[in-house]
Structure 1
């Protein structure tokens, strides 16, 4: 991973495998990778075709006293964070701090997944994760064409175990075939958002339907102005359902 890119949109849920089964059945989602850590386990999915689509992460708490358990207790299921990959995590963190934003949880010691987190602020009200890895995910065509996964070849979080905990998902047949489009994010200050996403994270920017479209190689964000900031959902194209609600957010068929 050598360039700036949007990696995935992450959702906190009580039952990651249950949600993954639904997303596989209705949208044809295919697993990429997943791991278990002290306070949570995650599963990263590709929702799309061999040529296009997007990545969605499901986070499930492990135990009852971790950060994710507290998040779900206070806010319920729904969007948790956005993740971007960067070519130089030290430099990205420096530039984010220069904007006056708060960065926590820095880990520069694990080459497979160096990370840092921009704390939620009044502008976006969502966690933004920055990551750098010396590994990359399989191409979508490889994911769709095979059930074999090599955990050692994909990015991996420090201290993670059980990288194939999610394999019962293969028992669920894919009845629908959709693809994930742009994530929708409401901002209270478009100028601040542009300084972060365009100025630091190198997004391409264009106007679309009264909002800004921020684009990277692996996906895009539709940035809306509003008084209630945060991730509101994402576009869907195709699939066997019109919409999938995950808590307060909606993955919705885009016409």
Structure 2
């Protein structure tokens, strides 16, 4: 089992934790109070209908997500649950290979193929029912 686990996690690392908020400035206040500052300009990810503000702590990103349209998955989340933890994301070196590997483990995905993400990345989400109630994102950076 140890060898299998090491093989699966090879190249895998925590990329970011995403927080849903109605307003990026309001959502930023706790992080700025702790001395964090955005590490880049806010970015709009049209495919997800969100505006993203990024902080970094300990080599891991904190992404604040604010909806840009009513049909955004983040707006739907906020309507159901309010502001808070939305998902956690793992960086993978080869997204297609990881998707194929997870399908052998009966993983359930949201969508059939990777989509554009922040900063030129490609992403796919694992269904929260498969993730024991947690939405998990896989991210491949250029």
- How far apart in 2 are the matches of 1:109 and 1:58? 17
In structure 2, runs of 5+ residues without a counterpart are 1-9
Query: SS of the residue aligned with 1:31?
Result: coil
In structure 1, runs of 5+ residues without a counterpart are 135-255
Q: Does 2:92 correspond to 1:82?
A: no
- How far apart in 1 are the matches of 2:114 and 2:31? 32
CA shift in 2, pair 1:113/1:88, >3 Å: same
Q: 120, 129, 139: which one pairs with 1:121?
A: 129
Alignment of 1:1-255 (within 5 A): 3-24=11-32, 26-33=33-40, 34-38=42-46, 39-47=49-57, 52=58, 54-105=60-111, 106-107=113-114, 112-121=120-129, 123-134=131-142
**Does structure 1 conserve the Cα–Cα contact (< 8 Å) formed by 2:13 and 2:91?**
yes
**Does structure 1 conserve the Cα–Cα contact (< 8 Å) formed by 2:116 and 2:123?**
no
Query: SS of the residue aligned with 1:99?
Result: coil
**Does structure 1 conserve the Cα–Cα contact (< 8 Å) formed by 2:14 and 2:60?**
no
CA shift in 2, pair 1:75/1:108, >3 Å: closer
Query: SS of the residue aligned with 2:39?
Result: strand
- How far apart in 1 are the matches of 2:61 and 2:72? 25
CA shift in 2, pair 1:133/1:122, >3 Å: closer
**Does structure 1 conserve the Cα–Cα contact (< 8 Å) formed by 2:123 and 2:137?**
yes
Query: SS of the residue aligned with 1:30?
Result: coil
Q: Which has the higher helix share?
A: 2
